Structure 1
Amino acid sequence: MHAESLRIVVVNTAGVLPPEDPETDAAQKNRSATLRIGLLQAGYDIIASLPGDMFLIDRIRQLEPDMIIIDAESDARDVLEHLVIMSQQAPRPIVLFTDDDEPSHMRKAMEAGVSAYVVAGLQSERIKPVLEVAMARFQVDQQVRQELADTRSRLAERKYIEKAKGFLMQRFSFSEEEAYQRLRKQAMEKNLRIGELAQRILDAADLIG
């Protein structure tokens, strides 16, 4: 996906800083400005800048961005928890820019599904390659997850087929090969996967006892 077509939501988790902390305030504003400049220079489409409040999840669901960028002054675990839960239904890459270099926070963020965790030293020209790497990693992760899901599905289907063969062998005195060929023929006639037909047979067998 090219930068020009990537729709991004930026989430700012900064709270209201105390007036006696001007250095932290200045650092936060500088990072946020650098981030926004880098995104615009790279041609990304910032469709919204949102606060990390209680309405965040609903707003993101309405906007359906391609990527979420979190601009965090410190630990952003509350926002991350909500985004990760939402991403289980609609996966998308999450990139976190922060000044928080606490190793435990970094590890938890990556375990939660953050595609890139960028600490301090932010430069506008680095933003595009960071997001490209994050998108590539996200796509690889999704491919691995899909392959794992497919493998689990095939194993489950194989289990149903073996049970259905056993049922037919017991009920109609078929040999194992006859039971399999009967399943295969019926699946083709009904335009079903053989595993799906096997599951239906087992469900029916449960109903009739």
Structure 2
Amino acid sequence: MDTPSFSLPGLRVLLADAGQRRSPVIRLELIRLRCQLVGVIDLVAEPAALEQALQRLAPELLLIDCEHPTPGLLAQLGQAQAEQPRAVLMVAEHMTPAEMRAALQVGVSALQLAGLPPQRLGALLQLAQARFDHDQALLRDLRQAQTQLAERKLVERARGILMREQGLDEEAAFQRLRQLAMDGGQTLASVAARLIDAHQLLRPR
């Protein structure tokens, strides 16, 4: 069976070499895949260089080539991913189940164990990028759902205030909020938040 052909034109890749010394082979394969290798950092010579390199070079994908992920490396990666998430492919000679879980928890998108066959690099890069995009979409959906829930709670709370203070029923209170939002060119949630703040300020202490 023929090996699938992959091309990732323009993908900005940073290679972090943690002692495996495979960067020449990886570099050639990245060129074949039409990726843009923005830099190679030596994590043996400069163990703490990862965060600064990521900030300076702004890659779309980080490729880490290591014997196994050390706690220090995972800590650096976790900090960097918290500041600016990106796709991460980690290649390791060996990794315990605990190290696998730790790597995934700090933002590694895809893992490759026991070496890196050059012909598989394209597929692994695509897997890492696809997994990252999928996870980011899930996070966006979660944040949107959380925002919508918080906004609904604000509207319900403001409607309750209008019902108590002005003797309105549920529908009339909602329509009042809606009219205020339309008149002021604001969202229901922002009007509700302002009404709640005003009520709290005027409430006897």
- Per the normalisation by structure 2, the TM-score is 0.86
The percentage of aligned residue pairs carrying the same residue is 31
- Give 1:129-148 correspondences, 5 Å limit: 129-148=123-142
- Aligned Cα root-mean-square deviation (Å): 1.8
Q: Does 1:42 align with 2:36?
A: no
Asked if the contact 1:37/1:124 (under 8 Å) is kept, the reply is no
8 Å contact from structure 1 (residues 77, 109) kept in 2: no
Which letter does structure 2 place at the counterpart of 1:163? R
* Partner Cα separation in structure 2 for residue 76 and residue 39 of structure 1: 25
Q: How does 1:198-209 map to 2 (within 5 A)?
A: 198-209=192-203
Q: How far is 1:184 from its partner?
A: 0.9
Gaps of 5+ in 1: 15-27
Tell me how far 1:51 sits from its aligned partner. 3.3
- Three-state SS of the structure 2 residue aligned to 1:192 is coil
- RCO comparison, higher one (Cα < 8 Å, 6+): 1
Give a deviation string over 1:18-71, Cα, whole Å, max 9, x none.
Answer: xxxxxxxxxx22x33332222222111011112343343133112221111111
**Residue aligned with 2:83, SS:** coil
Hey, what's the Cα distance between the residues in 1 that align with 2:161 and 2:195?
Answer: 9
Q: Could you say what secondary structure the match of 1:114 adopts?
A: coil
Q: How does 1:37-186 map to 2 (within 5 A)?
A: 37-52=28-43, 53-186=47-180
Output the CA distance in 1 between the equivalents of 2:184 and 2:53.
Answer: 44
Q: Which has the higher helix share?
A: 1
Q: Secondary structure of 1:85's match?
A: helix
Tell me the distance in 1 between the aligned counterparts of 2:111 and 2:70: 11
Q: Give the match for residue 4 of structure 2.
A: none
Post-superposition CA distance 1:70-113 (Å, at most 9, x none): 11122233222222223233221111011123222122212322
> Structure 2: which amino acid aligns with 1:161?
V
- Stretches of structure 2 that go unaligned for 5 or more consecutive residues are 1-6
Cα separation, 2, equivalents of 1:159 and 1:103: 41
Is the CA contact 2:62–2:87 (under 8 Å) kept in the aligned structure 1?
yes
Partners of 2:61 and 2:87 within 8 A in 1? yes
Alpha-carbon displacement from aligned partner over 1:151-198 (angstroms, at most 9, x marks no partner)? 111111111111000111112222211111111111122222211221
Please give the residue correspondences for 1:1-12 in structure 2 after superposition, counting only pairs within 5 Å.
3-12=8-17
